[in-house]
Structure 1
Amino acid sequence: MQWDDLRIFLAVARDESLSAAGRRLRIDPATVSRRIARLEEAIGAALFAKSQQGYALTDAGQRLMDHALRAEQSVAAAREEIAGQAGRLSGQIRIGAPDGVANFLLPQVCAAIADGNPDLEVQIVALPRLFNLSRREADVAITVSPPTAGRLTVLRVTDYRLHLAASSDYLASHPPVRGLADLQDHRMVGYIPDMIFDKELDYLVEVGASRVALASNSVSVQLNWLRQGGGIGIAHDFALPSAPELQRMLTAEVSLTRSFYLVCHAGDARMERMNRFATTLAEGLRSEVARLEAEVDAADQARGALNPAGA
């Protein structure tokens, strides 16, 4: 059994497609198919079952997956040790994250990491769902709840805040909001209820909103609805500097706190490269959340100074 065959096997297992695996590996799908057939012949068992949904692992494929992942980790560790990168990160690392952190935090944090590591390739996969690290959908994932199953290492990165927000134009043209009860007279923006993939994202329950008139599974879509004067919703404080037309509301009554967790496959914890990347990423996220939230607080203080109570 050759490592190169296992590398192709892993690509098909992750992408569930010969053509997608070929693109990942930069080889044609016919070659991928031949190499998988050769590996199956050597093992004496079918590794994939083909269906309309793609290539799914058989029981034999699932058993081989664990061994192939360990081989991949060993090869990566050996390359890193032999290369002697003198503290620099290199190679490709894929981060899976909800689209809020993927849009408003990771771009600048990862760009800063890349500045100091020119041989590093960073990929951000922004999806409103949980990631399967065992299948290597991502090398590391950022979550809002710590996972409770799987061979994973979990690092609590930082807390972040969320508040009710709306555009100045919306508030100027609709009834005043003096308390939570007044929200019943307003159009609410939030998640599609049956597509909330983590209980920590069910924000509007905490403010007693019974109906979401404008709903999306994407934080970015929700924020843009708020910016366009679509209604009132819960927004991440760290996203508000990118939307100066929005202002926080009822901050004394509604102030939510959530946490980000950095999750890696347990086998990767032994790799010095992944440890360094995870540490650098966590430090960058902490710093960026603190910077952006301080910027929002300063903007609110300035707004209050310009519009003192009773003026």
Structure 2
Amino acid sequence: MEPHWDDLRVFLAVAREESLSAAGRRLNFDPATVGRRVARLESTYETTLFIKSPTGYALTDVGQRLMSHAVRVEQSLLDATEEMIGQTSGLTGQIRIGAPDGSANYLLPQVCANIAADNPDLEIQIVALPRVFSLSRREADMVVAVSPPTAGRLTVQKITDYKLHLAAHRRYLRQHSPIKKLEDLKHHNIIGYVQDMIFDKELDYLNEIGVRKINLSSNSVSVQINCVRAEGGLGIVHDFAIPFMRGVRKILPNEVNLTRSFYLVRHADDRRHEKMNRFSEALCEGMRHEVARLEALS
């Protein structure tokens, strides 16, 4: 018996969400229906596709192989639909972007709002997580990353450079000893990442400038920024975030002046997908414009 595409669609949802209930929410099915569909697919192939673990549903080796085939089927159906509809109108359907929470909070809302205004039938999902996304599992259609991946069947393009500086709230600075050189930082509260939760070496800013003692830390850069805004101390802040931080200003801008880059990462199979190409072009152009605009205001 041949598998139904609908069962493969359910299989993909469970593989990506690692949960029957989460997959059900994604598909608007109840968890029991999702479970029955998975069982039917396993019966069709006469093999186990998932193993229930303490953290959810994990793919078996056979499940991993099926996923790569199912993703290609999914992409072919999307391509066929796009070809039939044509490109005379705006983008349609759904696109999910994975991004670190700095860009997700301070860049993507404006950029994606503009794209959505030009494409009213397109649903854009922004998934902000302080970790590396898996495109092979299709956790997202594309990912904004802070360093280019070196493995996997992926396409990578550089979006833009961006700058970061040490910053603090004016009220904090008035209430504490002056900062005239890097050595003065040892007398101040420092805000940064939880060291063992830094998911990309490019985010290890404080280590780069020689700061070892951290008083207040989070795995989220947005939490760090809010700690700076709450007068909790000094932290490394994206220049494009500073315009959103009333009362916050740069400290030692000549001594602490970091440059990083954003990259757009896509699955290699998406290169033939005109919808993804058009969206990627708009996203990259929008991010370049927004970084330049906000940095000029910082």
TM-score between both structures, scaled by the size of structure 1: 0.93
Q: How does 1:267-306 map to 2 (within 5 A)?
A: 267-296=269-298
Q: Which amino acid aligns with 1:227?
A: R
1:72-122 per-position Cα deviation (integer Å, ceiling 9, x unaligned): 000001111111241511111111111100000001100000000000101
1:67-216 superposed matches below 5 A: 67-216=69-218
Secondary structure of 1:92's counterpart equals strand
Deviation for aligned residue 1:209: 1.0
Give the structure 2 partner of residue 45 of structure 1.
Answer: 47
Map 1:218-297 onto structure 2 (within 5 A). Answer: 218-296=220-298
Q: Whole-Å Cα distance in 1 between the matches of residues 11 and 47 of structure 2?
A: 13
Compute the displacement of 1:153 (Å).
0.6
Give identity over the alignment, percent: 65
CA displacement at 1:173 relative to structure 2: 1.0
Could you tell me which runs of 5 or more consecutive residues in structure 2 were left unpaired when the two chains were aligned: none
Q: Deviations along 1:261-288, whole A, 9 cap, x unmatched? A: 0001111121000111111100000000
Following the alignment from structure 1 to structure 2, what is the Cα–Cα distance between the partners of residues 35 and 173?
62
How high is the TM-score relative to the length of structure 2? Answer: 0.97
Amino acid in the other structure paired with 1:286: R
4+ residue runs over 2 A deviation: none
Find the aligned partners of 2:34 and 2:224 in 1 and give their Cα distance: 41
- CA displacement at 1:40 relative to structure 2: 1.3
What letter corresponds to residue 294 of structure 1 in structure 2? Answer: A
Q: How far does the alpha carbon of each residue in 1:127-160 deviate from its partner, in whole angstroms, 9 at most, with x for none?
A: 1000001101111111100001111110100000
Q: Distance in 2 between matches of 1:125 and 1:150?
A: 21
CA–CA distance in structure 2, aligned partners of residues 66 and 244 of structure 1? 47
Residue 11 of structure 2 is aligned to residue 9 of structure 1: yes
Segment of structure 1 superposing worse, 49-58 or 138-147 = 49-58
Cα distance between partner residues in 2 of 1:32 and 1:274: 28
Q: How many residues align?
A: 296
Residues 43-52 or 61-70, more deviating = 43-52
SS state of the match for residue 136, structure 2? helix
CA-based RMSD: 1.0
Establish whether residue 29 from structure 1 lines up as the match of residue 11 from structure 2.
Answer: no
